[in-house]
Amino acid sequence: MVGSAIVRKLQAEGYSNIIIRTSSELDLRNQAAVADFFADEQPEYVFLAAAKVGGILANNIYRAEFLYDNLMIESNIIHSSYKSGVKKLLFLGSSCIYPKLAPQPLKEEYLLSGYLEPTNEPYAIAKITGIKLCEAYRSQYGCNFISAMPTNLYGPNDNYDLQGSHVLPALIRKFHEAKLNGQSSVEVWGTGAPRREFLHADDLADACFFLMQHYNDDLFVNVGTGEDVTIRELAELVKETVGYEGDLYWNTEKPDGTPRKLMDVSRLHTLGWKHKTALRQGLEMTYQDFLANEVLYVE
């Protein structure tokens, strides 16, 4: 989702010298393969968007994979970027790096100030490691490696697998299939009380392009909207967007996760960037994309 959004942004800005690889073409966990790729292609600028990602269920079940795969991906790319003389690298992390009970909104300086949310701790630790790798390579070798921490993302090419998706694409698929099948109700996990912030992937790509041009400091930067909604409000909004008319069943035996994850984006706003896509507009765009690509997304 993020990688394709960045490619769309670069193409829209007139870039054609873009080097990409799919996961089937290059296993980023393979150190030798990554080193060979950098030696052959010699990229000048790197957007490190690749990661093993998933929602609360996948994070909690595949704990070893989420830690190992993400550690290997970021370690191999960051080290090879240093070895091959990359001019600038942007590493993308996640808002889950922050402590579960950190003050809201989440400021960059709250990193490592408390305990992480247990359900996604392996993923968070991997992303924190990526931040620290960029800081260390900058400190020891003078590399211009920067980091950005996006909030929850959605948009074209999202993952709609109900066993591994995040809450927003999962809701889109659930309500869509319930509408088609005439279901009287849809199950939603938790109480609906947690608050979440959502950023359209194209807005993130725009922010990445902006940071690659204008930001060169060691402190990572939050990327988000600075606005959040409850999961209950989100579910009602998705329900309305899809046109589902049944009821919601809140399964309170399922986990809620972190109570709130609202990003403080004042640093990015001060730099001169702000998101453009409102949540309702973004949901409508995303559902239309889902309808156009449903066969690809659900098989």
Euclidean distance between CA atoms 182 and 132, whole angstroms: 50
Catalytic residue positions?
123
151 marked among binding-site residues: yes
Euclidean distance between CA atoms 299 and 294, whole angstroms: 8
189 marked among binding-site residues: yes
94 marked among binding-site residues: yes
153 marked among binding-site residues: yes
256 marked among binding-site residues: yes
166 marked among binding-site residues: yes
> Residue positions in the annotated binding site for NADP(+)?
92-95, 127, 150-153, 166
> Residue positions in the annotated binding site?
92-95, 127, 150-153, 166, 174, 189, 196, 256
> Residue positions in the annotated binding site for substrate?
174, 189, 196, 256
